[in-house]
Amino acid sequence: MCGIVGYVGPGSSIDVLLGGLKRLEYRGYDSAGVAILDESGELATRKRAGKLSVLTDDLQEAPIADGRTGIGHTRWATHGGPTDGNAHPHLGDGGRLALIHNGIIENFAELKQELLDAGEAFESETDTEVAALLVGRAYRETGDLQAALRSVVNRLDGAFTLLVMHRDEPGVVVGARRNSPLVIGLGDGENFLGSDVAAFVEHTRRAMEIGQDQLVAIRPDSVEVTDFAGAPVEAKEFEVAWDASAAEKGGWPSFMKKEISEEPDAVANTLRGRIVDGAVVLPELEPLAGALADIDRIIVIACGTASYAGMLGKYAIEAWARVPVDVELSHEFRYRDPVLTSRTLVVSVSQSGETMDTLMAVKYAREAGARTLSICNAQGATIPRESDAVLYTHAGPEVAVASTKAFVAQATALYLLALHLAEVRGVSTEEQAAERLEELQALPEKLAAVVESSSARIAELAGWMGDTQSVLFLGRHVGYPIALEGALKLKELAYIHAEGFAAGELKHGPIALIEPGQVVFVVVPSPREPSSLHPKVVSNIQEIRARGARVIAIAELGDVAVVPFADEVIRIPLAAPLVEPLLAVVPLHIFGMELAAAKGLDVDQPRNLAKSVTVE
């Protein structure tokens, strides 16, 4: 939820921290702050409510001295509103120590009382200040920052990444993590810490994972990782697969626009190297190799957009591999005592790989004996590390809070999984597999065609709808998750009422919402399949049209049957029924973005949200 950066080295700490925070701002953007240890040994902090630009402007107007050790934070408020005082860093040891935090300290109230009883004074309403004061007190006893942080972490319940620095230990930043992300960036004579690699990829692509319940101390020439008991740990090094330019806007008006334009590449890169001689090759699934032929049930767990990708996966896995699949919201999953066995495969889907609800659900499933597979976009994230195997999507960094390219990449990975399962379970013929693979391989080009053909018209439509108060989305079968996705995008970006419905459900209640002028997007299935739902969806369109709805249909090229009943038809190329929704979603992504833009809203950073939801 919050973004964290740490730096030690000869460079300008202020530049490194502000650059890192800029790239992490998608994680939270209601306040930001930095702490720098300057050359004279003074610890200076500056923190401001509002977006990072408020802090940056403030530092420009009234600079603080630069130095070689620093920490920076961009916040998504949990305890205490977004004010200057609640922004991080928080201080301990009489202002000699600065600390930043991502997560929630669940037992902060009792720890706060203990500190108040001991005579400590609080300057904020945050749970974080408890940690700053505790580490400060521990430092006074030990005189050793690592030891001080180590002595405190085991007293904290909940989720946390903590970074701490002390004016008496220049050139050192110490971090600790539990259920919250932290990665190390390895430089030349300088080292970095960040909530994700975006924090430092501008300076180095060499990175290191930090495991659960581990502590790290970075100095310009060394990195030391230990567990919470102090035993050394060998951390795994990896190379960041993308460079800083991939996470830059690069001339686009918004990250979201850029990322929609990258949907074709996201699919192409997720397929790349995984189709060899007409067969799906997924060596990443090796840790599950013995189990996949025997699983009798799959549960997909995910939140938000990722859960809609999971729904698409359900259709594909059931149709192609004939394994029953349930899709559940991660935060509901473990609270209903689900039946899990060693023959259950729990597939988590998460762009960030850090969503706390999903992480907790994965841990729960593992402890209950199920097999776990992570479908994830972010390298070095926690969920893949907590799973038996990981299938990475290769969508590249997704910066806009609203997920777009990650969605099509997640669905693509799930389709590959479906094909692989069909093969290992012997339920598909070579011809079927070849046909399906061909469809997937044709997808990037078709996606590019939709981006190209629909952008201008959708922008026009959105431009006329700046005052619209409500938009509905209808779909059936694989069109249903697309309707849900279209509605979610509109809620989070344009802040208007939007609902997605299974079109067949309309007559069971939602049709009462239709009044003259109500805008309804309808995802129309292809009429070419013999068992197609096309006639039924066209009937649904007629039903709402008869009640005054303004229908915008998303239909395949050449579908003329829909024309008399729609006010507007957005065309998508012909594709197989299971692949078609990935084309239909593009105009809806564009619509959400354009309507938000037409309303003058911040497309990349919608209010109240954060990209990576690392609290439950």
Among positions 31, 126, 355, 605, the unique one binding ligand M6R when judged by CB under 6 A: 355
Among positions 305, 468, 518, 526, the unique one binding ligand M6R when judged by CB under 6 A: 305
Q: Which C-beta is closer to ligand M6R: that of 25 or that of 93?
A: 25
237, 186 in Cβ contact below 8 A?
A: yes
CB of 260 to ligand M6R, least distance (A): 12
Among positions 91, 163, 402, 615, the unique one binding ligand M6R when judged by CB under 6 A: 402
Q: Which C-beta is closer to ligand M6R: that of 13 or that of 351?
A: 351
CB of 614 to ligand M6R, least distance (A): 10
Which residues have CB under 8 Å from 508's CB, separation 6+? none
Provide the mask over 449-488, with x wherever binding to ligand M6R is found by CB under 6 A and - wherever it is not: ---------------------------------------x
Residue 304 found at the interface with ligand M6R (CB under 6 A): yes
CB of 514 to ligand M6R, least distance (A): 26
Alpha-carbon distance of 534 to 334, in angstroms, equals 37
Among positions 69, 86, 387, 403, the unique one binding ligand M6R when judged by CB under 6 A: 403
CB of 309 to ligand M6R, least distance (A): 9
CB of 462 to ligand M6R, least distance (A): 17
At 357, the amino acid letter reads: D
* Choices 6-14, 49-57, 156-164, 351-359; region in contact with ligand M6R by CB under 6 A: 351-359
Q: Which C-beta is closer to ligand M6R: that of 362 or that of 544?
A: 362
Among positions 462, 613, 614, 615, the unique one binding ligand M6R when judged by CB under 6 A: 613
CB of 352 to ligand M6R, least distance (A): 3
Greatest pairwise CA separation for the chain in angstroms:
80
305, 485 in Cβ contact below 8 A?
A: yes
255, 236 in Cβ contact below 8 A?
A: no
CB of 300 to ligand M6R, least distance (A): 12
70, 253, 275, 314, 573 from 447: Cα distances, Å: 44, 21, 19, 22, 9
522, 537 in Cβ contact below 8 A?
A: yes
Provide the mask over 254-293, with x wherever binding to ligand M6R is found by CB under 6 A and - wherever it is not: ----------------------------------------
User: Which structure tokens are listed for 68?
Assistant: 């070689």
Q: Which C-beta is closer to ligand M6R: that of 350 or that of 605?
A: 350
Question: In degrees rounded to 5, what are phi and psi of residue 291?
Answer: -90, -30
DSSP secondary structure string for all residues of 74-121:
EE--SSS-S-TTTSSPEEEGGGTEEEEEEEEETTHHHHHHHHHHTT--
Q: Interaction with ligand M6R in 209-248: which residues (CB under 6 A)?
A: none
Among positions 303, 356, 482, 487, the unique one binding ligand M6R when judged by CB under 6 A: 303
Catalytic site includes residue 2: yes
User: Which structure tokens are listed for 150?
Assistant: 């180590």
CB of 405 to ligand M6R, least distance (A): 11
167, 70 in Cβ contact below 8 A?
A: no
Provide the mask over 358-377, with x wherever binding to ligand M6R is found by CB under 6 A and - wherever it is not: x-------------------
User: Which 3 state secondary structure label does DSSP give 437?
Assistant: helix
400, 260 in Cβ contact below 8 A?
A: no
Among positions 350, 379, 382, 518, the unique one binding ligand M6R when judged by CB under 6 A: 350
User: Which 3 state secondary structure label does DSSP give 301?
Assistant: strand
Q: Which residue is nearest to ligand M6R (CB)?
A: 304
Q: Which C-beta is closer to ligand M6R: that of 269 or that of 612?
A: 612
Alpha-carbon distance of 421 to 426, in angstroms, equals 8
Alpha-carbon distance of 34 to 600, in angstroms, equals 30
Alpha-carbon distance of 106 to 462, in angstroms, equals 43
User: Which 3 state secondary structure label does DSSP give 525?
Assistant: coil
Alpha-carbon distance of 164 to 45, in angstroms, equals 13
At 41, the amino acid letter reads: G
Catalytic site includes residue 611: yes
Alpha-carbon distance of 386 to 394, in angstroms, equals 19
Q: Which C-beta is closer to ligand M6R: that of 150 or that of 385?
A: 385
Alpha-carbon Rg for the chain in angstroms: 25
Among positions 71, 218, 401, 506, the unique one binding ligand M6R when judged by CB under 6 A: 401
347, 449 in Cβ contact below 8 A?
A: no
Q: Which C-beta is closer to ligand M6R: that of 383 or that of 422?
A: 383
Among positions 38, 328, 492, 556, the unique one binding ligand M6R when judged by CB under 6 A: 492
Of 2, 257, 314, 489, the active-site residue reads: 2
Q: Which C-beta is closer to ligand M6R: that of 304 or that of 527?
A: 304
Q: Which C-beta is closer to ligand M6R: that of 217 or that of 391?
A: 391
Of 392, 391, 426, 395, the closest CA to residue 408 belongs to: 395
Under the rule (CB under 6 A), what is the footprint of ligand M6R? 303-306, 350-352, 355, 358, 401-403, 488, 492, 612-613
Residues with active-site annotation: 2, 611
